[in-house]
């Protein structure tokens, strides 16, 4: 297994965990916050999609996807406190965008060589993610940074343990 295959495997595992945790949630339940000071799941899902799209474009230009009008703005940090359901997608809408992102991310990975992973990443990320490979590592694991917040929501809603 080479580095690109490892990135794909980690990405797929992260997506599987996320998909499992939201599988039995309703669209309304996606607006539940694990704590009043935390972001609800719908906002987090959109944030993950926007971030992946931007990160991917920054290291492998031409592989981003077109997001719905207003999507990035509705999932920006400044809108994290919104509970207006009309600004957020259905669960199926988020999962469809994640599927498009996966297809685009895997196509970007397939366009790279292992040597490309050692190239410098974007300057604004260099202090934490200095190479193309480290940025793509973030793309593959970013979901896992957020799904831990889904578990308290699931417990509060009386949902079963999934994983």
| Cβ proximity of 42 and 74 under 8 Å | no
Confidence at residue 156, expressed as pLDDT on a 0 to 100 scale:
95
**How confident is the model over 64-90, as pLDDT tens digits?**
999 999 999 999 999 999 999 999 999
- Interatomic CA distance for residues 160 and 152, integer angstroms: 12
Q: Which domains does the chain have, with CATH numbers?
A: 3-156 (1.20.120.450)
**How confident is the model over 95-108, as pLDDT tens digits?**
999 999 999 999 99
Q: Which residues pair with 131 in a beta bridge?
A: 120
Q: What is the pTM (predicted TM-score) of this model?
A: 0.96
- Interatomic CA distance for residues 97 and 66, integer angstroms: 9
Confidence at residue 163, expressed as pLDDT on a 0 to 100 scale:
87
| Cβ proximity of 109 and 4 under 8 Å | yes
Tokens representing 69 are 């009008």
- Give CA 52 to chain center in angstroms: 6
Confidence at residue 114, expressed as pLDDT on a 0 to 100 scale:
95
**Summary count for the chain: helices (H), strands (E):** 6, 0
Total number of residues shown for the chain: 163
Confidence at residue 94, expressed as pLDDT on a 0 to 100 scale:
98
Q: Which residues pair with 120 in a beta bridge?
A: 131
- Interatomic CA distance for residues 85 and 115, integer angstroms: 44
Residue in this structure with the two tokens 């685009």, named with its chain if needed:
104
pLDDT in tens, the chain (163 residues): 999 999 999 999 999 999 999 999 999 999 999 998 999 999 999 999 999 999 999 999 999 999 999 999 999 999 999 999 999 999 999 999 999 999 999 999 999 999 999 999 999 999 999 999 999 999 999 999 999 999 999 999 999 999 8
Residues near 88 by beta carbon (within 8 Å), at least 6 away in sequence: 30, 31, 42, 43, 46, 74
């Amino acid at each position: 297994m080479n580095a690109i295959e490892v990135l794909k495997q980690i990405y797929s595992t992260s997506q599987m965990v996320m998909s499992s945790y939201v599988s039995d949630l309703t669209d309304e339940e996606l607006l539940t916050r694990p704590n009043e000071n935390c972001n609800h799941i719908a906002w987090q899902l959109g944030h993950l999609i926007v971030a992946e799209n931007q990160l991917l474009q920054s290291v492998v230009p031409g592989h981003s996807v077109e997001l719905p009008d207003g999507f990035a703005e509705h999932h920006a940090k400044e809108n994290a406190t919104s509970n207006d359901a009309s600004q957020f997608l259905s669960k199926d809408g988020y999962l469809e965008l994640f599927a498009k992102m996966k297809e685009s991310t895997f196509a970007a990975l397939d366009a790279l060589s292992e040597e490309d992973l050692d190239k410098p990443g974007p300057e604004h990320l260099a202090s934490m993610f200095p190479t193309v490979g480290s940025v793509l590592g973030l793309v593959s694991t970013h979901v896992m940074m957020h799904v831990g917040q889904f578990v308290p929501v699931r417990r509060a809603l009386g949902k079963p343990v999934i994983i």
